[in-house]
Amino acid sequence: MTVGALVVGGDYQGLGIARSLGRRGVPVCVLDDERSIAAASRYVRRTVRVPELRDADTTVTALADTCDRLGLHGWVLYPTREETVAAVSTARDELAGRYRVPTPAWSSVRHAWDKRATYRLAEKLGVPTPRTWFPCTAGDLGQVDTSGPVVVKPAVKEHFVYATGAKAWRADGPAELADRYRQASAIVAAEEVLVQEMVPGGGDSQFAYCAFFRDGEAVASMTVRRRRQHPSDFGRASTFVETVDVPELVEPSVSFLRAMDYYGLVELEYKRDPRDGAYKLLDVNARTWGYHTLGRAAGVDFPWLLYRDQLGLPVEPARARPGVRWIRWATDLPNAARDLRRGAIRAGDYLRSLRGVDTEAVFALADPLPALYEILLLPYLAMKRSL
């Protein structure tokens, strides 16, 4: 393969992309603004460290400079973080002069980037979501039904997550809601703060539909149950995931992606509401997702399919087989320890869930160094971005 891939972000998600392509002889370069485990992989030919990838203009400049300096013209671009996806999407025409850019245009990506757009499009299409309020000021909080717990969350999660280390906050009652809203409004613009009913249930209620989507159809797909996450309440990342067969997720997901005019790899997150049995859309990720390597173990290698399509090569339709399990030990074990201490799970149940795990996020016998490097980096990662 003479056409390589530039992976932006070298954590376990980027490592999975590098392994997918590198195993097949595709040259891989990783661009990152932090120490990353992908640098230790035998499948990464070169790593580039830059000071900053959170700012859009800085990111686009870094991508252009890296292409020109290393001669990466025509390589396939794989962003792995939300803010990088947004930067690439808005500068798509400029970057397309250097790279193959599978990230769709901003007119499509904005429905994933901003949850206000996500939920409004879902409502228009009749895709179920949790009941959501869009207060512009604290005075609008009186419209919120606080008879049950609610969630205070940002419309654009990256600004909030980097500042707080949390994806969302729970609020019980009007007083706590007002307090949480005031705290959130000090971090992001008040109009970016959403209030949403809290759907009951834990990991067994969390599902996702993952796909390589093209021309209004899912060329390849995978449906999963996201059984555990980190942190346990409002997880920023899944830690234990299993492929399942949930046909109810197909129609709303395909309908939503068609309305977005979407192309590429995508994950739609749902939670099954035990009160009415509906699968309610929570989030859309317009990129590879943390556990995408589960797909390869279940028969669908998503990064490779995207690469082939970008080069104009045939892509065979594929569907992940159910019953395949993925784990990330670095977050699943400490999270389980916390849940055991507070009585949220039982030791026997946890140990039984580990039987038959098929693939791990980082460890691989054919490429062992990233796992060792991850252990050494754990204190750094915990301080940098809480894993």
Query: What are the domain boundaries of the chain?
Result: 5-106, 131-197, 203-385
pLDDT in tens, 209-255: 999 999 999 999 999 999 999 887 787 889 999 999 999 999 999 99
State both tokens at 335. 């999270």
Q: Look at residue 387 and tell me whether its pLDDT is greater than 50.
A: no
**pLDDT of 306 above 60:** yes
CA distance 262 to 256: 9
* The two structure tokens encoding residue 265: 């790899």
**Tens digit of each residue's pLDDT (9 = 90 or more) over 293-305:** 999 999 999 999 9
Compute CA distances 243 → 61, 160, 208, 277, 350, whole Å. Answer: 39, 30, 9, 20, 18
* Per-residue buried b or exposed e for 151-186, using 16+ beta carbons within 10 Å of the residue's own CB: bbbbbbbbbbbeeeebbbbebeeeebbbebbeebbe
What percent of the chain has pLDDT above 70? Answer: 98
- Dump pLDDT digits (tens) for 334-384: 999 999 998 888 999 999 999 999 999 999 999 999 999 998 887 776 666
Q: How far apart are CA 323 and CA 73, in angstroms?
A: 40
Residue 129: pLDDT band by 50, 70, 90 thresholds? Answer: very high
pLDDT mean across residues, the chain: 95
**CB proximity list for 270: less than 8 A, separation 6 or greater:** 206, 207, 208, 209, 249, 279, 280, 281, 282
Instruction: Return all residues near 286 (Cβ < 8 A) that are at least 6 apart.
Output: 85, 89, 103, 104, 108, 109, 112, 113, 262, 264, 266
106-113 and 115-125 helices, crossing angle to 10° = 100
Mean pLDDT of 53-75: 97
> Which token pair is 304?
């490779």
Question: What is the C-alpha to C-alpha distance for residues 83 and 34, in angstroms, rounded to an integer?
Answer: 15
Nearest to 243 by CA among 304, 291, 193, 289: 291
In words, the CATH class of domain 5-106 is alpha beta
Report how far residue 345's alpha carbon sits from residue 337's, in angstroms, rounded to the nearest whole number: 9
What pLDDT does residue 381 have? 67
Q: Please give the CATH number for the structural domain made up of 131-197.
A: 3.30.1490
Closest CA to 112 of 282, 270, 255: 282
pTM of the model: 0.95
Q: Return d(Cα 369, Cα 366) in angstroms, integer.
A: 9
Report yes or no: 203 and 187 within 8 Å, Cβ to Cβ: no
Judged against a pLDDT cut of 90, whether residue 287 lies above it is answered with yes
Give DSSP secondary structure letters for 21-88.
HHTTT--EEEEESS--GGGG-TT--EEEE-S--SSHHHHHHHHHHHHHHHT-TTPEEEE-SHHHHHHH
- Let me know: does 289 contact 9? Beta carbons within 8 Å: no
**Residue 9 φ then ψ, to 5°:** 115, 120
How far is it, in rounded angstroms, from Cα 326 to Cα 226?
10
Confidence (pLDDT) at 203:
77
Cα–Cα nearest to 287, from 261, 263, 266 = 266
Q: How far apart are the first and last CA of the chain?
A: 33
Nearest to 102 by CA among 306, 312, 260: 306
Closest CA to 330 of 377, 274, 261: 377
99 secondary structure, DSSP code? S
Measure the CA angle with vertex 329, ends 324 and 335; round to 5°: 110
DSSP strand pairing (150-154 vs 193-197): antiparallel
For the domain covering 203-385, report its CATH number: 3.30.470.20
- Cα–chain-centroid distance for residue 216? 21
